[in-house]
Amino acid sequence: MEIGLTGDLEACLAIRRVVFIEEQGVSLADEVDGRDGEAEHLLALLDGAPVGTARMLVDGETGKIGRVAVLAGARGRGIGAALIRAAVERLRERGLKVAKLGAQTHAVGFYEGLGFTAFGPVYEDAGIPHRDMKLGL
């Protein structure tokens, strides 16, 4: 498995389309929010094929990790965790103080295992329950 910053937005969007739109029923309007141009993107490759992605946005001293997606056939191999670790490291390199994300509620335990802490109420995003989480950098 390889994970790194990428300019291949097309590969990232293709993974997100499969996971969010096709699997989870998120609308195209909710998935494509117009912020990809200002974000940094990570791409995970398995045997040379794109299988996972995440994006990072910056707001002041906070980095927001989002659009974390791994194709179904590649799940269970630690790719999601590796994407989050790579995103956190990149935000640290940029000198940010906090990493935040909006976790689907079923994934809260996954992110807690990576050091994130949930805060605030559960809310709906694209019809899916989420909870905000943060990690000090």
Q: What is the model's pLDDT at position 95? A: 96
pLDDT at residue 129, as a whole number = 96
Give the CA angle between residues 118, 2, 65 to the nearest 5°. 25
pLDDT given at position 67 = 97
Name the domain count of the chain: 1
Residue 121, domain CATH:
3.40.630.30
Residue-level length of the chain? 137
Q: What proportion of the chain, given as a percentage, has pLDDT over 90?
A: 97
What does the pLDDT read at residue 42? 98
Residue-level pLDDT at 113: 97
φ and ψ of 107, to 5 deg:
-105, 5
Mean pLDDT, rounded, for 36-42:
97
Phi, psi of 82 (to 5 degrees): -65, -40
d(CA 13, CA 5): 14
Mean pLDDT of the chain: 96
Render pLDDT for 43-91 as a digit per residue (tens, 0 to 9): 999 999 999 999 999 999 999 999 999 999 999 999 999 999 999 999 9
Sequence-ordered strand ranges (E) for the chain:
2-6, 40-46, 49-59, 62-70, 98-104, 117-125, 128-136
- What pLDDT shows up at residue 82? 98
Predicted local confidence at residue 123, as pLDDT: 97
**pTM tops 0.85, yes or no:** yes
pLDDT band, residue 101 (cuts 50/70/90)? very high
Domain span including residue 61: 2-136
